[in-house]
Structure 1
Amino acid sequence: MSVHYRQGPENRFPAASEDVASVYAALLEQYPAENIGIEGCSAGGILAAQAMLWFQKHNLPRPGAIGVFCTGFDFLRGGDSKVIATIFNGVSSSTPVLPQIAYFEGADMNDPLATPAVSPDALAKFPPTLFLTGTRDMMMNDCIASHVKLLKAGAESHLYITEGWGHGTVWNAPGVTEATDALNVIWNFFDFHLGN
């Protein structure tokens, strides 16, 4: 199912986390947590990670697995992919993403609920996590750094990188071999980690 969560610029953090938690709580009435997987791409991938912190704070059981695609959750660091990828994506690295900036307006980005990477204790409680990115994705460094932080925290984390991908290419190139391969990786990951 797809969650129609509140976004910026009309809404502010943590509205989207609240929406995911509401849907998740409703699903828990019908399914055990270990049978539920959560995934998202780009802003949705960030939200999947933020939801784990929200669930922890509100004593919701962790899902069976999550997917964080085309992004990471270590916003307080830089990385050369944000500069290099602009050559291939035709977007200035200084171009603000206004809805996301507005969404986090007034939020403390050192709060783990906003930036999960700042809390190793919270990361240690993450379910098995799959990261997916491409070598031309502006968020590749953030994705890799987040994967490493999960590993350092002792959580199970997997990283899949495809040569030549840009941001969100897996969803924009259906039928292309690399996209099909990536979708199979996603399927197999959730099939392995979720309950029956």
Structure 2
Amino acid sequence: MSREQRAKIDAMLRGHQAEGPRSVEEIRTGFAAMMATMAVPEDIRTTHTELGGRRTLLVEPTTPAPVGADDAAGTILYFHGGSFVFGSPETALSLTGNLVARTGLRAFSVDYRLAPEHPFPAAIEDTLAAYRALLDDGVDPARLVLAGDSAGGGLTVTTLLAARSAGLPLPAAILAFSPGVDSTRTGESLETRAAADPIFTRAALEHTGAMYLAGQDPRQELLSPALFADLTGFPPMLIQVGGNEILLDDSTRLAARARDAGVDVTLDVTADVPHVFQVYADILDEADQALDRAALFLTQQLGG
């Protein structure tokens, strides 16, 4: 394990921690500036398009697909992180770019509506509309995977819950980086990992969480699927999470719930790394290794 690399990232993140709550604009601007410094692979290209009425960033490998290949063997529908309040397809480009470069798949990254302007369930309405649009465009669900980080990792689950309720076919797999899947904030890791987490505090999560909830009861499957969702019939899932996250128990409880529902689930916990550590590709060995495992999972689930 790369102790020096991890220590450097931990110190950097602690230096970005704000004292007290920040305005929505300050949160969004600060996050965008930080994510703009993350490494993005050179062998990808991006195009602006739309899915389900929402702006969407299409990320593709620059190497052409073999003659006769169908959409470079598959499609990733990606949902960015940001506590449902901040973030965009651009802030997630290091993640989508690395998945595309490592798999040869194309990725659609959706710019779903954000709170507080658009609280729950706006984000799920938008991600479901994007999923439906891909199906309507003829994308085979067996050649489609959902992926996301943080809040977007949670959206991979809640979007499929909504899709199942709408009678839509489910995709081939789910990939979730540090998913946020418990709006009740009852996981023990909120306390046991508080000192280790260089990014989040309970107060910060409750600050942005209240914007998304807008008074709704968090004790329901679309807000806390790790506690209340029936995951029966879900496709194979890979959940990757860092050992230094106060949201660690979101992942462990989601994995346990999936297992109990008979879902093929892999819980991949990397010690001593922070929330969505995969963004530190090229500067953290564990990030590159986790992305390699994620890419292998996706290609295996698509039969590649």
Identity of aligned residues (%): 31
Give the equivalent residue in structure 1 for 2:209. Answer: 100
State how 1:30-69 maps to structure 2 within 5 Å.
30-69=138-177
Give the one of 165, 168, 171 matched to 2:273.
Answer: 165
| CA distance in structure 2 between the aligned counterparts of 1:92 and 1:162, rounded to whole angstroms | 20
Q: CA deviation at 1:80?
A: 3.3
**Secondary structure of the structure 1 residue equivalent to 2:202:** coil
**Secondary structure of the structure 1 residue equivalent to 2:195:** helix
Measured at CA, do residues 74 and 169 of structure 1 come closer, stay the same or move farther in structure 2, by a change above 3 Å? same
1:113-147 CA-to-partner distances (Å, cap 9, x unmatched) read 22223445x31121111110011011111211110
- Taking structure 2 as the reference length, the TM-score comes to 0.59
Measured at CA, do residues 108 and 195 of structure 1 come closer, stay the same or move farther in structure 2, by a change above 3 Å? farther
Measured at CA, do residues 67 and 19 of structure 1 come closer, stay the same or move farther in structure 2, by a change above 3 Å? same
State how 1:2-151 maps to structure 2 within 5 Å.
2-28=109-135, 29-76=137-184, 78-88=186-196, 89=198, 91-119=200-228, 122-151=230-259
Measured at CA, do residues 194 and 101 of structure 1 come closer, stay the same or move farther in structure 2, by a change above 3 Å? farther
| CA distance in structure 1 between the aligned counterparts of 2:176 and 2:266, rounded to whole angstroms | 10
Q: CA deviation at 1:170?
A: 1.4
Which segment is superposed worse, 88-97 or 29-38? 88-97
| CA distance in structure 2 between the aligned counterparts of 1:182 and 1:125, rounded to whole angstroms | 26
| CA distance in structure 1 between the aligned counterparts of 2:189 and 2:161, rounded to whole angstroms | 26
| CA distance in structure 1 between the aligned counterparts of 2:126 and 2:294, rounded to whole angstroms | 24
Runs of 4+ in structure 1 deviating by more than 6 angstroms, as ranges, are none
AA matched with 1:111: Q
**Secondary structure of the structure 2 residue equivalent to 1:190:** helix
AA matched with 2:211: A
Which segment is superposed worse, 73-82 or 37-46? 73-82
| CA distance in structure 2 between the aligned counterparts of 1:33 and 1:66, rounded to whole angstroms | 12
| CA distance in structure 2 between the aligned counterparts of 1:109 and 1:92, rounded to whole angstroms | 19
Q: CA deviation at 1:90?
A: 6.0
Which segment is superposed worse, 165-174 or 88-97? 88-97
| CA distance in structure 1 between the aligned counterparts of 2:203 and 2:211, rounded to whole angstroms | 16
Unaligned ranges ≥5, structure 1: none
Which segment is superposed worse, 130-139 or 79-88? 79-88
Which segment is superposed worse, 77-86 or 145-154? 77-86
AA matched with 1:57: S
AA matched with 1:100: G
1:54-110 CA-to-partner distances (Å, cap 9, x unmatched) read 101111111111112113524446233222433231653333443332111132323
**8 A Cα contact 1:72 1:145, kept in partner:** no
Q: CA deviation at 1:175?
A: 4.1
Q: CA deviation at 1:9?
A: 1.2
The alignment yields a C-alpha RMSD, in angstroms, of 2.0
Unaligned ranges ≥5, structure 2: 1-107
AA matched with 2:118: N
- Taking structure 1 as the reference length, the TM-score comes to 0.89
**8 A Cα contact 2:161 2:222, kept in partner:** yes
- Kindly name which structure, 1 or 2, has the bigger radius of gyration based on alpha carbons: 2
